[in-house]
């Protein structure tokens, strides 16, 4: 599920709006020189709310994203992919992971 579309500016900063049923947040992914590849912040708030690390799967680059906030029950793990259809656009994708209880309920 795509939860945000981000656009890159001339400095490599990605900006976009995360949207969910309970609200939205304006996100800024700022490139970093050391550590994570991106520091993630809520637009207008200086506190870091996440980070992203470059990865590669089957020759396709993506970023592993972790968002965290004191008001979340646990950190949210997502993936960021460059759009195949729109230049300079990146899709932030989240998928619910099935736990053992979920699999037992579904009969898998």
**Secondary element (H or E) of residue 101:** helix 100-106
| Whether residue 106 has pLDDT greater than 60 | no
**Across 16-33, average pLDDT:** 93
Q: What is the pLDDT of residue 54?
A: 97
Q: How many domains does the chain have?
A: 1
- Confidence grade of residue 23 (pLDDT, cut at 50, 70, 90): confident
CA pair distance 54, 39, nearest whole angstrom: 12
Q: Which one-letter DSSP state was computed for residue 98?
A: P
Tokens of 90: 């990146």
Residue-wise pLDDT tens digits, 88-103:
999 999 998 776 655 5
Distances (CA, A) of 16 to 49, 54, 58, 97: 14, 19, 27, 24
Euclidean distance between CA atoms 61 and 69, whole angstroms:
26
Could you list the residue range(s) of the whole structural domain that residue 59 is in?
2-106
Cα separation of 89 and 82, whole Å? Answer: 6
Distance (Å, rounded) from C-alpha 35 to C-alpha 22? 31
């Amino acid at each position: 599920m795509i939860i945000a579309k981000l656009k890159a500016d001339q400095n490599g900063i990605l900006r976009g709006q995360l949207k969910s049923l309970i609200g939205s947040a304006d996100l800024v992914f700022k490139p970093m020189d050391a550590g994570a590849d991106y520091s993630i912040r809520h637009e207008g708030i200086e506190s870091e709310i996440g980070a992203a690390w470059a990865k590669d799967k089957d020759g396709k680059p993506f970023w592993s994203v972790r968002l965290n906030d004191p008001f979340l029950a646990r950190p949210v793990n997502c993936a960021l992919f460059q759009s195949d259809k729109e230049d300079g656009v990146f899709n932030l994708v989240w998928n619910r992971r099935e736990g053992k209880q979920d699999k037992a309920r579904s009969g898998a």
